[in-house]
A and B are shown apart, each in its own frame.
Chain A
Amino acid sequence: SFENRLAFRWFWLPEPVRPLHGSGCGQQQEAVGMEMRPETFSIFRTQENDPDCQSEQHQGQYYTVPPSHFHTVFPHGLPPRYQQQVKTFNEGCVMVRQPALELISHLKRADYSKPTLRYLLYGVKGSGKTMSLCHTVHYCSTQGWLVLHIPDAHLWVKNCKELLPSSYHASRFDQPIQASNWLRNFRTTNENFLSKIKLRQRYVWTKRESTEEGQPLGELVDMGVSRVKSSSDVVGAVLKELRLQAGGTEGGFRLAVAVDGVNGLWGRTTLKKEDKSPVAPEELTLVHNLRKMINNDWCGGAVIATLSQTGSLYAPSSAYLPQELLGEEGFDSMDPFIPVPVSLYSEKEFESCYLYYLDRHWLQHPHSQTEEGKKELIFLSNRNPSVLERLCAFL
């Protein structure tokens, strides 16, 4: 068959069945080996579904995110076209790529008693930054970290219908809808932490409402979801609590702050005040609190950020480098950070993607399954993942 011919071309060996580092991985392989279909082994798929055990030998291969994890780990944060693909193929497969592997290896070896390290994923449009971020978020949640995933910071600086003046600080503005949506998704992701973390401070919302010290975090979040007016301040309180308690030795958890489109936090917004003057990003409560989170003055976690030109405001479409997209102010706040470049597909990764689409019956045009069609796809897409996906969608 087609796959077998390609198998011999690439000389890929089947995975060695020796236990890798970590106790869970070896047993997993044996258990999974029982369920493996007795047909031809697939080059583009790997049975190693745990991001902890994935290594360079799995590069280019697709691993399946278990359906049970899907709705808890990714209620928001996946690119919309990928969500459609998951719905169509009835499974969520992510390619193991070098930037994500590098990030995960850094996260494994970092010292969490020192101030937080900031990682920045950058690359041309459509090269797979958001998907690498989601892969890392999946790793963090399988390791039991608390994940703070902001799906797109640009959504907070544009298209806001309701801008309320903040009750806490006179010159700031609140965004109730965005804040309550985010809190709802935060609640879905981190159900198990909500009862364990206790507040260390008393928060007063109105004359009659307050949250006492020692209450679980879940109550705070529920209050933010139900009382939409004060949800932005609740977000600020949640972020502050997590920052204080992340590195703690007693019941300490690790905090992963994953922000997509972090360049939206510095720069300009398209929002206007009532007297038609533009709103600066620091005048928004959500942005102000998130900036405090990204500073490296707390310890016990990591900040993983992605640049994005797609949703950005007033940025040229050819800009992809951190200096260009973050601007001076942003770069100074993010500095020092660990840059992780995300490149276009290599030949191996392209082959893998092509085979995956063939396997899922996505490439239906008879010519797309020939060598010539494949060459044409390489030429038209230049191995850019998102362009390839859009091309294969109608072929």
Chain B
Amino acid sequence: MAASLTGLLKPWTPRVLLVRWSRYNPYYLEPEPRKEVYHIPETELTPEQKEERELKSVRPIKAATNSVTSSVFNDPVLSKFVNMMMKDGDKIIAKGIITQTLENMKRKQVEKYHKAPEGKKAEIECNPYAIFHQALENCKPVIGLASIQKGGKFYQVPIPLTDNRRRFLAMKWMITECRDNKHRRTLMYEKLSQELLAAFSKEGNVVKRKHELHKMAESNRAYAHYRWW
């Protein structure tokens, strides 16, 4: 009986050998990467947490993916950006480009900071992460367009966008802009840092594209009632 049970406990059920997907047996539990959870002393655990810990000590646990860290410097938005920039699964190159971008932005800003007079110093933002997040916010469109068929013709109808879709569009525009519209000899990190700094101060091609989308949505207001959801 034990042999048949362990036969059922295989981590994968490979009918077909899948390279990209991982289909774990549902018996396996998710790993917990956050450090704070393990620092709670025994006495302060709630009954549910105690139960969960006991369960974890008997059940097998899935292997953690490469993008999961317990580091304090982990940033989910940045990880998503790295994944979007990745080509052919080469995350090392994508992560390298992003770190060079952050360093480049910080260098430019810190140089400006050290050369600025005392009054202007407080206005210069030196934190590359803050600049990145603010720039992304400035690039996110508020309203999008969908192609809806009515009476044989397709109309561009303004629709609300979910948060995920907005974030995705902002990142996608940023990456395509930096890949396509640059001089042949500029490196990706140089162009990305220029675009992010421009987007931070609401200039540059990416916010221009966002404004154009907004204008198109505004001009197509009449078709808004074609949306049924």
Contacts and interface: CB of A to CB of B under 8 A. Distances in A.
A360 B73 contact: no
A368 interface: yes
B103 A365 contact: no
Contact of A88 (B102, B111, B127, B130): B111
B73 A373 contact: yes
Contact of A372 (B72, B103, B128, B129): B72
B201 interface: no
Contacts of A362: 106, 110
A361 B110 contact: yes
Nearest to B124: A361
Given A361-B113, A364-B126, A394-B99, A88 B73 contact: no
B106 A393 contact: yes
Contacts of B102: 394
A253 B103 CA distance: 44
Given A88-B111, A394-B106, A376 B73 contact: yes
Nearest to B111: A88
Contact of A364 (B99, B100, B115, B127): B127
A364 B106 contact: yes
Contacts of A376: 71-73
Nearest to B72: A367
Interface in A85-113: 87-90
Interface string B106-121: 1100110111000000
Contact of B107 (A84, A368, A370, A395): A84
Contact of A90 (B100, B115, B128, B129): B115
Contact of B72 (A84, A360, A370, A393): A370
Contacts of A364: 106, 126-130
Contacts of A373: 72-73
A326 to B, nearest CB: 33
A366 B133 CA distance: 14
A87 B111 contact: yes
B126 A394 contact: no
Contacts of B99: 393-394
**Interface size bucket, B side?**
10 to 19
A22 to B, nearest CB: 33
A368 B113 contact: no
Interface in A151-173: none
Contacts of B114: 88-90, 360
Contacts of A365: 73, 127, 129
Contacts, number: 48
Interface string A260-281: 0000000000000000000000
A90 B129 CA distance: 23
B103 A393 contact: yes
B200 to A, nearest CB: 14
B77 to A, nearest CB: 14
Interface in B59-101: 71-73, 99-100
A394 B128 contact: yes
Given A394-B99, A394-B102, A394-B103, A368 B110 contact: no
B94 to A, nearest CB: 14
Contacts of A87: 111
Contacts of B71: 376
A368 B73 contact: yes
Interface in A348-395: 360-362, 364-368, 370, 372-373, 376, 393-395
Contacts of B128: 364, 394
Interface string A172-194: 00000000000000000000000
A87 B107 CA distance: 9
Contacts of A360: 110, 114
B72 A88 contact: no
A73 B129 CA distance: 37
Contacts of B73: 365, 367-368, 373, 376, 395
B46 to A, nearest CB: 25
A394 to B, nearest CB: 4
A372 B36 CA distance: 12
Nearest to A373: B72
A360 B106 CA distance: 12
Contacts of B111: 87-88, 90
A88 B129 contact: no
Given A370-B72, A394-B99, A395-B73, A88 B107 contact: yes
A373 B35 CA distance: 13
Contacts of A84: 107
A366 B127 CA distance: 9
Contacts of A90: 111, 114-115
Interface string A60-104: 000000000000000000000000100111100000000000000
A205 B41 CA distance: 83
12 contacts: A88-B107, A89-B110, A90-B111, A90-B115, A361-B126, A362-B110, A365-B127, A365-B129, A367-B72, A370-B72, A393-B99, A395-B73
Interface of B: 71-73, 99-100, 102-103, 106-107, 110-111, 113-115, 126-130
Interface of A: 84, 87-90, 360-362, 364-368, 370, 372-373, 376, 393-395
Q: Which 3 A-B pairs have the closest CB atoms?
A: A364-B127, A394-B99, A367-B72
